[in-house]
Amino acid sequence: MNTKLLISPQELTLLLAENSSQPVIIDTRSQEDYAISHIPQSINIRNFFSYLLEDSYPTGLQKLQEYFIEILSRVGISGAEWLIVYEDTFNQGYGQSCRAAFLLKYLGCAQVSILHGGYKAWLRAGLSTTDEVPLRESSIFRLHPNANMMVTTAEMLQAIDNPAIIKLDVRDKAEWLGLSSSPYAPDFCPRKGRIPNAVWLEWHRLMTSSSEISMFRSKAEILEICESVGITSDSIVYIYCFKGSRAANTLIALQLAGIYARNYFGSWNEWSRDFSLPIDSRVF
């Protein structure tokens, strides 16, 4: 099956009406919001996808894999299903649905789609909601990690002085300027700054909002914006943010534009805590 990267609310509601090829719908919002209302048949596993990678060395990646084998098995996901993830809206959750989709694909789920526009787009379309929680039997998740999706710290370090690989920082402006170490608090991490030789493209720029609903821009618009920082359709891009969420959102945008990119999932949270790694700490 050639699974679409993005799926519209209208396409999803047609799928729900079919008797065959039923997707598993994953709600990444808070448990409180899910309890109020959600897309019918969706399951909520928000807290699990906020997992903070300990480090991107083999031991850290193994812990991540073992964690999700247990979680996904518990909620009845084997990895063979068509999985559709959604959040409230793209510009409010730090890219959480894209982070979830990235993790699922990294773990070996071949069929993963993202609801374009999120739950707000679903509501704007006037589609049905529920507060009923579906019952799912446990399963055995089959791990097939795709290492090529994730940039490790060692690979990012090797790429610093390689002009053929663009190091793309997509964090918010205060983080890029070295005024804050994270989106949570200025001193959440021990160091502020940037990975040396990185270029900056704030993640919001690749999306547009209509009626408070954030959507990805067109391929032509994404390419034009990327070209302003030296990224073309021939580029190789390593993306980072704080913990891989905004980077995952940007990764989706670049994929829509046909640009090859990988996610440095450990991002600034990992890089800044290792004092052996170089940083550009100038305050602009």
Distance CA 43, CA 28 (A): 9
Distance CA 253, CA 255 (A): 5
Mark 237-268 as b/e (b = at least 16 C-beta within 10 Å): bbbbbbbbbbbbbbbbbbebbebebbbbbbbb
DSSP 118-154: HHHHHHHTT---B-PPPP-----------GGGB--HH
Give residue-wise pLDDT tens across range 73-131. Answer: 999 999 999 999 999 999 888 889 999 999 999 999 999 999 999 999 999 999 999 99
- According to DSSP, the residues that pair with 27 across neighbouring strands are 44, 86
Tokens 């602009």 map to which residue? 284
User: 33: how many CB neighbours lie within 10 A of its CB?
Assistant: 15
CA angle 51, 49, 5 (to 5 degrees): 135
Tokens 């534009």 map to which residue? 257
Low-confidence ranges of the chain (pLDDT < 50): 1
Distance CA 240, CA 266 (A): 8
3-state secondary structure of 199: strand
Distance CA 269, CA 244 (A): 9
Question: Which phi-psi region, left, alpha or beta, contains residue 85 (left: φ > 0; alpha: ψ -120 to 50)?
Answer: beta
| Structure-token pair, residue 232 | 């073309």
Q: What is the pLDDT of residue 2?
A: 54
Tokens 């719908």 map to which residue? 25
CA 132 to chain centre: 27
CA angle 106, 239, 237 (to 5 degrees): 100
Q: What is the pLDDT of residue 73?
A: 96
Type of residue numbered 264: Y
Q: What is the pLDDT of residue 270?
A: 97
Is pTM beyond 0.75 here?
yes
Bridge pairing between strands 6-7 and 111-115: parallel
Distance CA 269, CA 242 (A): 5
